[in-house]
Amino acid sequence: MRIWGERGTLQDQEQRLAYLFLLVPVTIVFLVIIFPTVWNLWLSFHKLSLRDLRTSAPLSLNFTTYSYLKVFGDLDFTSSLIATLTYSIGGTLITLLLGLGTALLLSPKFRGRGAMRGLFLIPYIAPVVAVTFTWRLLLDPRGPIMTALVNVGWLKQPLHLLGQRPLAMTTLILFQGWRYFPLAFLFIMARLQAIPRTLYEAADVDGATPFQKFFYVTLPQLKLILATLGLLRFMWTFNRFDDVYLLTSGAAGTKVLPVLVVDYLIGQFDVGAGAAAAMVLFGCLTVLLIIYFRLIMRRAEQMEV
């Protein structure tokens, strides 16, 4: 390769052009991913309040582990971590199950199938503020659902589904399932339709029951897509903030880690602890994803081949 500035051969010029083009995505990646992450890591090793953000304090080289000690020493940290795990695992499983169920229901041809499929997408596309507000009203102990249940005589006392442990977490998980199953449904349905008919015909010839067809033909074909969806949903739920905050604000045992981050940052103006909690969240997620890849993704990929 020649020195920059010299024209060189056509090949050299093209190479230089290629690097130039590459500069655009690299800059973007740097600005929106690498820089914020590194900056957050940097902030998490400082003791900073909101006020310090406007001074040169964030740039100082006085590193401290204060923020991490604060996060790990927090009386709510362990319960917060458990809540996050419960919420993520429960939410992911229920989303997948509901998505799989609806996809199976809506894959045979019948009249109005298109309209049904469209209807099923509503929870996913409706604005989150509107749906959480509506659900809060519906689930209020004196709202329509509880009033009806008490009037019918199924309940003696109304339940506070969003205000009491462990009901609040269960409700959050169910809400997660309701709101995000359409995504799983779309993915699974696309995969279902790509399964060759011949496999089912062969199964029919062997005299397989519908259950056998599902467990030995359909499910193996869906493994990779289910594993991928599980991965995505788990990641997104682990970092989920808006649903939780809007439904329970973190009360009644639903203070998940992202809510803790906001508590530090906005509630206590402790920027360092907020950054450290975010890094802890990031770290937990990374570890969990590595395990997931090792245990599930790899196996699912092998099955597919």
Partner 1 sequence: MWHKVTGVLVLLVVGMVVFALGETTVTIWTDLVEPKRVVIQEELAADFMALHPDIKVEVVTVLESEMPTRIAAAYAAGALPDLVRLSLEYVVGWVEEGILDAEAASALIEKMGVGTFGAGPLESVKVGSGYAALPTDGWGQLLLYRKDLFEEYSLAVPDNWADILQAAVVLHDPPNMYGIEVATDPNQVYMQQVFEHFALSNGARLVDEAGNIDLTTPEFIAALRFYKLLATQFTPRGNIYWMHTRLDYLGGKTAMTVWSPYILDELAGLRDSAPVTAEFPEGTPVLYERTGIVSSFAGPAGAPAQGGAVLYLGISVDADTEAAQAYAEYLLSDGYAKWLSMAPEGMFPMRPGYINVWKELEFGVDRKGKISDLYPAEVINAIATGVENIDRWGIASGRSACVSAIYATRTVIDVLRRYIDGEIDSATEAAQMMQDRVRYLSGCEDK
Binding site for partner 1 (CB under 8 A): 49-51, 53-54, 70, 73-76, 140-142, 157-158, 160, 162-165, 248-249, 251-252, 262-270, 273
Q: Read out DSSP for 102-158? A: HHHHTSS--TTHHHHHHHHTHHHHS-HHHHHHHHHHHHSTTSHHHHHHHHHTS-SS-
Biggest CA–CA distance in the chain, Å, is 87
Q: Which is nearer to partner 1, 79 or 302 (CB)?
A: 79
Distance, CA of 158 to CA of 143 (rounded, Å): 9
Least distance in angstroms from the C-beta of 115 to partner 1: 37
Least distance in angstroms from the C-beta of 80 to partner 1: 12
Q: Which is nearer to partner 1, 168 or 188 (CB)?
A: 168
Least distance in angstroms from the C-beta of 53 to partner 1: 5
Distance, CA of 131 to CA of 123 (rounded, Å): 8
Q: Which is nearer to partner 1, 174 or 251 (CB)?
A: 251
Residue type, 110: F
How many C-beta atoms surround the C-beta of residue 222 within 10 A?
A: 22
Q: Which is nearer to partner 1, 187 or 264 (CB)?
A: 264
Q: Which is nearer to partner 1, 101 or 141 (CB)?
A: 141
Distance, CA of 153 to CA of 101 (rounded, Å): 31
160: CB partners within 8 A, 6+ apart: 141, 167
254: CB partners within 8 A, 6+ apart: 83, 87, 168, 169, 172, 244, 247, 248
Q: Which is nearer to partner 1, 262 or 289 (CB)?
A: 262
Q: Which is nearer to partner 1, 176 or 254 (CB)?
A: 254
CA nearest 184: which of 142, 243, 227?
A: 227
Least distance in angstroms from the C-beta of 138 to partner 1: 13
**Torsion sign across C-alpha atoms 55, 59, 63, 69:** positive
Least distance in angstroms from the C-beta of 141 to partner 1: 3
3-class state of residue 252 by DSSP: coil
3-class state of residue 9 by DSSP: coil
Q: Give CA separation, 175 vs 21, 78, 88, in Å.
A: 44, 24, 12
Beta strand ranges found along 221-276 (DSSP E): none
Q: Which is nearer to partner 1, 217 or 262 (CB)?
A: 262
Distance, CA of 216 to CA of 142 (rounded, Å): 48
CA nearest 242: which of 296, 179, 290?
A: 179
Least distance in angstroms from the C-beta of 123 to partner 1: 23
Least distance in angstroms from the C-beta of 48 to partner 1: 10
Least distance in angstroms from the C-beta of 231 to partner 1: 31
